[in-house]
Amino acid sequence: MTSMFFPTSSFGFSEHENEIVTEGSGVVHGEPSQDGSLPPNVDAKVEVMDEKVSKQIIKEGHGSKPSKYSTCFLHYRAWTKHTQHKFEDTWQEQQPIELVLGKEKKEMTGLAIGVASMKSGERALLHIGWELGYGKDGNFSFPNVPPMADLLYEVEVIGFDETKEGKARSDMTVEERIGAADRRKMDGNNLFKEEKLEEAMQQYEMAIAYMGDDFMFQLYGKYQDMALAVKNPCHLNMAACLIKLKRYDEAIGHCNIVLTEEEKNPKALFRRGKAKAELGQMDSAREDFRKAQKYAPDDNAIRRELRAIGEQEKAVYQKQKEMYKGIFGGRDESGGRSKSRNWLIMLWQWLVSLFRRTFGRHRVKAD
């Protein structure tokens, strides 16, 4: 097997094998992230997939649909239909799941029927009868689903691999999984160059799915290094896309994942700082930029961001100074005292006069 460990060539943001260019790229507006505590309200027509499965499309996908034994990568939120109790959310954990059509668990039968009707990038609300979900007995461990509960799934198909034999990640060797993830990452980088951010993120998320926690926990030594050399750049590239899409909280989440593995990673600190600055968290952003500068002292992008924060704070201070000057002693355009100062003088004179009258009456009584 050829080596797939690509060392980072610089701490800047120039193009190289692992990571995407982030400077000089236009901002693309994406969909705002949903709260996800309750099922979405969808007005689209209901498509019947099966007697117990129906679908409403939230967002159209592209390309073809997966066939039997395709390995599908997806995100979903799941609720019990009657109580609207949410029992699973893969978006919250930022870890997509794998579903091999035709080889799914029994409780995922309805979900698999719905996913088989979806294209890459498609998001839909699936209505699933209890017979094709957790059944008559439900599930009292995790996830917690009561008996005979109809289900709702908000599903997005990130993408899929067409494999006739239906080879799941668990059946792959370490080299095969790292190689498959690396190919997805490179495809994502090419899509990013074409400004296809949503499609690029689909590729990065599929790569991340190959590098799941169950897999990473088993690795050590050179295999762990090889896997991190693919996984962490995917999270950083996801963060870059999400910043351009103005989805800053999600970008921070991906940077945090990298920083748990590499606390001194300057790119993760820089991009987290960028997202925090956009959210107005200036003190925390400055702290991230300063840490990034400590590990990448020659990076011009970090210097620019620190300078921008300083200039912004200076402008805010100057504005506040002018505002207070206008209240406590500024002059109007004619050169006279400001109305605010005149008002304060009149108030002070009235208080002095009131004090003198009151004090004078007391003196008369005392005499």
Interatomic CA distance for residues 47 and 55, integer angstroms: 5
- pLDDT value of position 19: 53
Q: Which residues pair with 153 in a beta bridge?
A: 78, 126
Angstrom CA distances, 101 to 111, 134, 165, 208, stand at 10, 18, 11, 20
- pLDDT value of position 164: 53
Interatomic CA distance for residues 132 and 50, integer angstroms: 10
- pLDDT value of position 18: 52
Q: List alpha helices for 169-281, DSSP H.
A: 174-193, 197-210, 213-216, 221-244, 248-261, 266-278
- pLDDT value of position 276: 95
- pLDDT value of position 147: 94
- pLDDT value of position 119: 92
- pLDDT value of position 356: 64
Q: Which of 267, 287, 266 is nearest to 277 (CA)?
A: 287
Residues of the chain with pLDDT under 50: 1-17, 20-33, 165, 333-336, 361-367
pLDDT tens by residue, 268-315: 999 999 999 999 899 999 999 999 999 999 999 999 999 998 888 887
Q: Which residues pair with 80 in a beta bridge?
A: 151
pLDDT tens by residue, 117-134: 999 889 999 999 999 999
Q: Which residues pair with 72 in a beta bridge?
A: 99, 160
Q: How many helices (H) and strands (E) does the chain have?
A: 11, 7
pTM of the model: 0.62
